[in-house]
Amino acid sequence: MALNRTFTMIKPDAVKKGYIGPILNKINVAGFKIVSMKMTQLSKRDAELFYSIHKDRPFFNDLVAFITSGPIVAAVLEKDNAVNDFRTLLGSTSPEEAAEGTIRKLFATSVGENAVHGSDSDENSVIETRFHFSDREVF
């Protein structure tokens, strides 16, 4: 898969609040092309695997409960420098620390319920994309 791609999820808090449209608009306006997208809901096992890197963190159980609490929108985005530029568009993990105009500043509720996920490296972008999409679903 090309390295000018990143993986994102609109998390259950943002889906419940009706923010799918506004968040996708921010993503498009920032110059990202959507190359794959689906609405789905993670099982507990899915969530434990997806976030396995955080399994020893104190917030792990809360994170798994939150991310499985409702539907999410998973997508693959394309743009030059996609991983880094998307992390910039997201803002810091906590909305209180996120810069003005970032997705998390605008749409997140708290450090846990922070509206949107973005891959943190090209390697993880590929792993996370393969976790959520089959080859037939990535264009």
Q: Given the rule CB under 5 A, which residues bind Mg ion?
A: 120
Q: Which listed residue (11, 117, 129, 132) is catalytic?
A: 117
Residue 111, interface with ligand IDP (CB under 6 A)? yes
Q: Tell me the residue ranges of DSSP E strands in the chain.
A: 5-10, 33-40, 72-78, 116-118
CA distance 102 to 115: 11
Looking at the Cβ atoms of 43 and 121, the one nearer to ligand IDP is: 121
Q: Which residues pair with 38 in a beta bridge?
A: 74
Residue 63, interface with ligand IDP (CB under 6 A)? yes
CA distance 33 to 118: 15
CA distance 130 to 139: 13
Looking at the Cβ atoms of 17 and 57, the one nearer to Mg ion is: 57
CB 103 within 8 A of CB 88: no
- Among the residue ranges 17-25, 41-49, 71-79, 112-120, the one whose residues contact ligand IDP (CB under 6 A): 112-120
Asked about 117 being catalytic, the answer comes back as yes
- Catalytic center residues: 117
| Binding stretches for ligand IDP (CB under 6 A) | 54, 59, 62-63, 93, 111-112, 114, 117, 120
